Amino acid sequence: MRSARQIVRVCAFLALAAHACTGGGGGGDASTQLPDAGGELVREPTLDAADPDSADGTGDGSPAGDLGPAARPRGKVVLISIDGCRPDALFQAPAKNILALAARGSFSWQAQTINPSITLPSHSSMLSGYPPEVHGMLWNDWRPGYIPVPTVFSAAQAAGLRTVMVVGKEELQQLAIPGTVDTYVFAPGADENVVDNALVEVQRGFDLMFVHLPMVDYQGHLNNWMSDVQLQQVAETDRHVGRILNAISPDTTVIITADHGGHGYIHWSDLPEDYTIPWIAAGPGIRVGHQITQPVRTLDTAATVAHILDVRLRSDTIGRHVQEAFTK
């Protein structure tokens, strides 16, 4: 694994390469609560999560790919990763579209990413269900080759489903294993460009789409996590997420999460601010206005997507689908 100094150098390069935009759409009071459909409140989290390595994350979930007793929504999945987004940033921005989605779905403000809490290793775990010691993707830049373990895209493609990736960082191409992704788009620049390309793919049709939005992370590295500039970017990113939500069909399940949080100008310490991430699911068969109590890890995202699509991950996958999010 790279040294901390090398990681800082990589992240600094990525940040400087990004468009220096501060975004917009951050008007209004920084509300910390949002009523859900039943009059309850989606409350702002406190970042006091346990060490991510201490929780087994299985909760009452079934093994990855197991049919289990939970209801099976049928349809499409959009998985949106907001790079570097802390749960509390969604409230302080505020991210009105994302919080409204949480209010009509199931959510955790205490989900945990992996160690090391950096972009490529975390997304490798998010899409495969394997921890870094298994998938081996411990660097954070583009290199020739691909992740050496199957991903949820492998399972979806094997089932004959149409798969799409639209990403804002070049290194994520290593997750698009040849033969597993029908359409891969690297959309450099601002989140607006990523979403513009994603909306084209929505019109073309898909069963599984992964959308990666990089700008919250870039603004954290450039201007400090939870700074006014970064929170403005969270609000701007939320506006673009709203464009996706408005374009997809009602049979689509949406999962929104992040690869890591951050504090100061970094995100790879052992602080809860770096490891704690939002995890939201909404769509057919998902419980409404429900705060998830079982431990949720980024490892569990691939298994949850597989459960929704009714495809099977490999039996040795570590992640478990978040069963509590589903209606019984």
Q: Find residue 256's DSSP bridge partners.
A: 80, 280
Q: Is 97 helix (H, G, I), strand (E, B) or coil?
A: helix
Q: Which residue is associated with the tokens 């890591």? A: 260
- Report the alpha-carbon angle 279-80-195, nearest 5: 150
β 208-213/41-43 pair status: unpaired
- pTM confidence score: 0.81
The angle formed by the CA atoms of residues 328, 246 and 255, to the nearest 5 degrees, is: 40
Per-residue confidence (pLDDT) for residue 224, from 0 to 100: 97
User: Residues of the chain whose pLDDT is less than 50?
Assistant: 1-41, 49-73
Closest CA to 192 of 224, 214, 165, 220: 214
Task: Determine the pLDDT at residue 75.
Answer: 79
Model pLDDT, residue 306:
97
Q: What is the pLDDT of residues 175-225, one digit of tens each?
A: 999 999 999 999 998 999 999 999 999 999 999 999 999 999 999 999 999
Backbone angles phi, psi at 276, to 5 degrees: -85, 130
Q: Which DSSP string corresponds to 253-301? A: EEEEE-S---BTTB--SSSHHHHEEEEEEESTTBPSSEE--S--BTTHH
4-19+55-325 has CATH 3.90.950.20 classification: no
Tokens of 23: 């975004």
Residue 328 pLDDT: 77
Instruction: Round to whole Å and give the CA distance between 318 and 21.
Output: 38
d(CA 309, CA 73): 8
Token output for 50: 């346990």
Q: Which two tokens stand for residue 315?
A: 């039996």
pLDDT score for 168: 98
